[in-house]
Structure 1
Amino acid sequence: MFVLLSIFMTLPPLLLLGAESPNAVAFAESAGIIFGLGMLGILIAYGKPRDLKPRYMFVLTVSSWLVMALLSALPFYLSDAGISVTDAVFEATSGITTTGATVLTGLDQLDQDLLLWRSILQWIGGIGIIGMFVAVLPFLRVGGMRLFATESSEWTDKALPRMKTLSRGLLLVYCVFTMIAVFTYWISGMTLFDAFNHGLTSIATGGYSTSDLSMGKFESELILLEATLFMILGSLPFFLFVREMHGQRGVLWRDQQVRLFLTLLLLLTLGMLLYRAIITDGFDIVSGSITTLFNVTSILTTTGYASEDYSAWGSLAFSMFFFLMFVGGCSGSTSGGMKIFRFQLSLIVLREQLMRLLHPRAVLTRNFNGRAVSDEIIASMIAYTFIFLLCFLGLTLVLAAMNLDFVTSLSGALSALTNVGPALGDIIGPAGNFATLPEQAKWALCVGMLLGRLEILSVVVVLSPGFWRS
């Protein structure tokens, strides 16, 4: 992983051909350090057994994201932009976790190699997230992810070819979607540099932009519609695209997660559009429909792009966007949040309890996507939800203890844990950023971003004393 990261770290100067890469030395030094660490690790572990039991997988998953975030901060810190250690780690953590919160201002004048590195980090994080959800978390039984252990790879018989084929398919789909996004943005009026950056961050549902105005810079309704499409694609289960590619037609639409996600997106957009039309004098229905769809999609998919300050749309919009931060996209996608399937499982449990009150002796079955849902999966989902709310409360109180106002503390904690990016309010809302927060708050939010990306439970397991006793 370190060697791969060092290779990616050489891309910004190479893609810019050195002409517009004033920080080429910083990238070279960073890549050299990380490559050396990687080779040292390979030499130390050479010839030793690689039987990764679940216990080791927990440690590997948690430690790899933490260390990758820290090492990814090196180019920011060693650059000529004068970025502090805290800000460098925050920006790198936000990038690798595809959160999209930023502490950098003046993005329009920032060195292009640093802008490119931010986007590459989110692209790396996006494919890493897909791999983690499809290949790691289901087998570690984290947060109900066991539900997708067989579904993600059931379309072939033998285990080894199955995982190899699935891995290649996921990478192929991810790369193809990225190239389509880059090309589409380019022919729609973006410069090649802007198109490349936004193509990477759209599919990764990361939200990093090359301008302080985010997508508002381009003043193009066509680009907003295109970005909406790519954000939606990034929020759907990628293993279903692979199954479609292998001849299983219609599996994407038959998936209960996908249907609820798209239905929810449509209903929320229509509701917000109606609200804006009622409270706004001279409301332009065409332009308003596009901006409403774009911004609702951006928050629901946890991408974090903005075309305007949606917190100024009224109190209903403010409240709705806050609660939308909880939801997120589908499992097996690049998006954050609590994930659609957990809300579906909660509804299944609620329905079961109501039926038992009416018919105490009834024999009830739980089914999701045509499969029985075990008590283990329900218990795991409930445990995740409880620990998520506990972390949300704790992080909010930590931020409030640093003299941040209630809206900033509450929405900042939620934004970090759900990997949304921009929060709400005047300070860290869509019209601001995280630059003015105290250093201690930035470190706390870094922890929150990593917790949210790692589904919280995997971190709690590694930190528990019982994990280390045997």
Structure 2
Amino acid sequence: MNRRLICRLLGVIALLIGGSMVLSLPWALPVFGQTEEFEAAGFFGLLGSMVVCGLVGGVLMFFGRRSRGQSLFRRESIAVVGLSWLMATLLGAMPYWLSGTCSALDADRQPVRMDVADGIFESASGFSGTGATILTELENPKLVPRAILFWRSQTHFLGGLGIMVLFVAILGMGSAGKSLMLTEMPGPSQESPDARTQRAAWNFAMIFIGLCLLLTLLLRIQGVTWFDSLCHAFGTVATGGFSTYNDSIEHFRSAGIEMTITLFMILACTNFALLYCLLLRRPGKLLGDVEFRVYLIIMCTVAAAVIVSLLLAGDFDSPMEAGRFGLFQVVSIMTNTGFGTYDFDKWNNFSRAILLLLMFVGGCAGSTSCSIKVIRYILFFKILRLELEHVFHPSVVRAVRFGGRPLEDPELRKDVTFYFGMILLIFVVAWIALVAIEPDSTWTEDARPVQDKLLDCASAVAATLNGVGPGLGIVGESENYAHFHWCSKFFVLTWLMLLGRLEVFVLLVLFVPRFWQGK
């Protein structure tokens, strides 16, 4: 294990994170309509955070100064990716702490400052694209300065784009860069549209940035401010879901804005390699992709089922309203964005159950979506069909086929089934831990039946592990995660968000002692 090389690369990443905070500073200036009274804390909090990032980056690069020209192998790539996300979470929390950002008002209407667990939770939620929040007063600049609010959305941008993709796009690094990208990018298939790694990273980055800019302009045309347009563009394309308003997209009360964001949520969860082919005027690649077609079929089928159930249950009288709110919420949950236009926790049980299960689907591999991914379900059911065939035809040898091509990898069946097993195990363990940690008073003090505890905790685990954000009950669309004990936020929910973003193994392997042993 080349620890010096790991330190040097982590140092560069720390400097990149600190340098990116410059983009949040202008929103504290009077030229953007902000007042010094409210924004000075945010401005100096960001400046202090930049200094901390600079110091951390400088120290790490000093320790790794003798590693220039050395090769980066598989183990080092995994270590750099896993540790960089942990480091980004800690450094990303600095602006919240140093600015004195407040999470809520207490019973006496006094501000409650974010503690260590709150800051780490909010930072992990931003970078991982989860969108779960403990902030209850987003529209009060006295509690949450606008510069900090922009940084909060900017963490979506950095995490959605991918720390490693940004790193490789800027520095290249050849085959080592490819190893870093493949380790970080989610999904079992990470085929690049271009053989040259740095150019592939730039292609990914340009598509991501292009979608952000286009959505920003479309929202601005519809009357949304530049600040809100940028923040919601970051949250949409990164499938994060952070909003600048307590009531999320519902605040705008505009069908046009909702449909615009719906379209971009769908695009953000499409394989970026296919979007790149679309830019090259090769639409057949996109339309002929099996995963993309199944992705749209699932989305349309579930949306139709939810809309019909909303009408039959009397949740909406108008088919137009049922279609508008039902479609948006299905797309938002399936893409793991988590934006809301209606409190779906008030809908009928069938719709709520469907949305809860939909959290475990996600978008396409090679997109900004979290969760399990459509491609894994396709492969899982193909493997299941072959295993069932072996029951009555044990001598038949047949390869799993995907997109008309046989997949020869002998480890494929084990990898796919093992991943599903790991997700189930993590879900159950985290659910039990959350139920054990959280006192019943969390529900009784909020005038909620304590019998809801099991379902609410299950939905909180599902929403954070799959990168959705809002769940059911105490973490529903109109609620947040401020209710939870600090142990739950720090030891359970934060780790679930990071595990979901890095698809479990990259983070878990860091805690295996043998991983760090040897050269």
Is 1:406 matched up with 2:425? no
Equivalent of 1:77 in 97, 101, 121: 97
Equivalent of 2:192 in 149, 152, 156: 152
Is 1:461 matched up with 2:512? no
Q: Which residue of 1 aligns with 2:127?
A: 96
User: Shift of residue 361 of structure 1?
Assistant: 3.1
Contact in 2 for aligned 1:129/1:334 (Cα 8 Å)? no
Q: Which residue of 1 aligns with 2:54?
A: 35
Deviations 1:125-181 (A, max 9, x none): 00017949x955885599972x43xx324x55xxxxx21221111111111100011
User: Shift of residue 25 of structure 1?
Assistant: 0.7
Instruction: Out of 251-260 and 266-275, give the one that drifted further.
Output: 251-260
Is 1:387 matched up with 2:406? no
Instruction: Out of 46-55 and 72-81, give the one that drifted further.
Output: 46-55
How far apart, in 1, do the equivalents of 2:418 and 2:19 lie? 39
Q: Which residue of 2 aligns with 1:54?
A: 74
Contact in 2 for aligned 1:328/1:335 (Cα 8 Å)? yes
SS in 2 for 1:337: coil
Is 1:87 matched up with 2:118? yes
1:152 partner letter: S
Deviations 1:317-368 (A, max 9, x none): 1111111111111111111111111111111111112322343333322111
How far apart, in 2, do the equivalents of 1:136 and 1:190 lie? 40
Contact in 1 for aligned 2:165/2:181 (Cα 8 Å)? no
Deviations 1:356-411 (A, max 9, x none): 23433333221112333222122111221111111111110110002361112111
How far apart, in 1, do the equivalents of 2:15 and 2:197 lie? 23
Contact in 1 for aligned 2:129/2:159 (Cα 8 Å)? yes
How far apart, in 2, do the equivalents of 1:18 and 1:440 lie? 39
Identity of aligned residues (%): 30
Cα distance change, pair 330–136 in 1 and its aligned pair in 2 (3 A): farther
How far apart, in 1, do the equivalents of 2:182 and 2:150 lie? 34
How far apart, in 2, do the equivalents of 1:418 and 1:170 lie? 22
Normalised to the residue count of structure 2, the TM-score between the two structures is 0.84
How far apart, in 2, do the equivalents of 1:411 and 1:241 lie? 32
Is 1:6 matched up with 2:18? yes
User: Shift of residue 229 of structure 1?
Assistant: 0.7
How far apart, in 2, do the equivalents of 1:129 and 1:140 lie? 11
Q: Which residue of 2 aligns with 1:265?
A: 299
Contact in 2 for aligned 1:236/1:333 (Cα 8 Å)? yes
Deviations 1:55-103 (A, max 9, x none): 1111111111011001100000111332222111111110010100000
Contact in 2 for aligned 1:26/1:79 (Cα 8 Å)? yes
Q: How does 1:199-278 map to 2 (within 5 A)?
A: 199-278=233-312
Contact in 2 for aligned 1:152/1:240 (Cα 8 Å)? no
1:430 partner letter: E
Q: How does 1:294-309 map to 2 (within 5 A)?
A: 294-309=328-343
SS in 2 for 1:210: coil
Cα distance change, pair 271–334 in 1 and its aligned pair in 2 (3 A): same
Is 1:44 matched up with 2:44? no
Is 1:188 matched up with 2:219? no
Cα distance change, pair 139–68 in 1 and its aligned pair in 2 (3 A): closer
Contact in 1 for aligned 2:287/2:293 (Cα 8 Å)? yes
How far apart, in 2, do the equivalents of 1:450 and 1:275 lie? 34
Cα distance change, pair 108–139 in 1 and its aligned pair in 2 (3 A): closer
Cα distance change, pair 128–288 in 1 and its aligned pair in 2 (3 A): same
- Runs of 5+ unmatched residues, structure 1: 157-161
User: Shift of residue 221 of structure 1?
Assistant: 0.8
How far apart, in 2, do the equivalents of 1:129 and 1:376 lie? 29
User: Shift of residue 282 of structure 1?
Assistant: 6.1
Deviations 1:258-287 (A, max 9, x none): 111111100111111111111117621122
Cα distance change, pair 307–135 in 1 and its aligned pair in 2 (3 A): farther
- Runs of 5+ unmatched residues, structure 2: 1-12, 102-112, 167-176, 441-452
SS in 1 for 2:470: coil
SS in 1 for 2:352: helix
Contact in 1 for aligned 2:18/2:50 (Cα 8 Å)? yes
Aligned length: 460
How far apart, in 1, do the equivalents of 2:322 and 2:413 lie? 41
Instruction: Out of 173-182 and 279-288, give the one that drifted further.
Output: 279-288
Normalised to the residue count of structure 1, the TM-score between the two structures is 0.93
Q: Which residue of 2 aligns with 1:159?
A: none
SS in 2 for 1:10: helix
SS in 1 for 2:264: helix
Q: How does 1:165-184 map to 2 (within 5 A)?
A: 165-184=199-218
How far apart, in 1, do the equivalents of 2:244 and 2:183 lie? 37
SS in 2 for 1:364: coil
How far apart, in 1, do the equivalents of 2:335 and 2:316 lie? 30
Equivalent of 1:127 in 152, 161, 170: 161
RMSD across aligned positions (CA) = 2.2
User: Shift of residue 303 of structure 1?
Assistant: 0.4
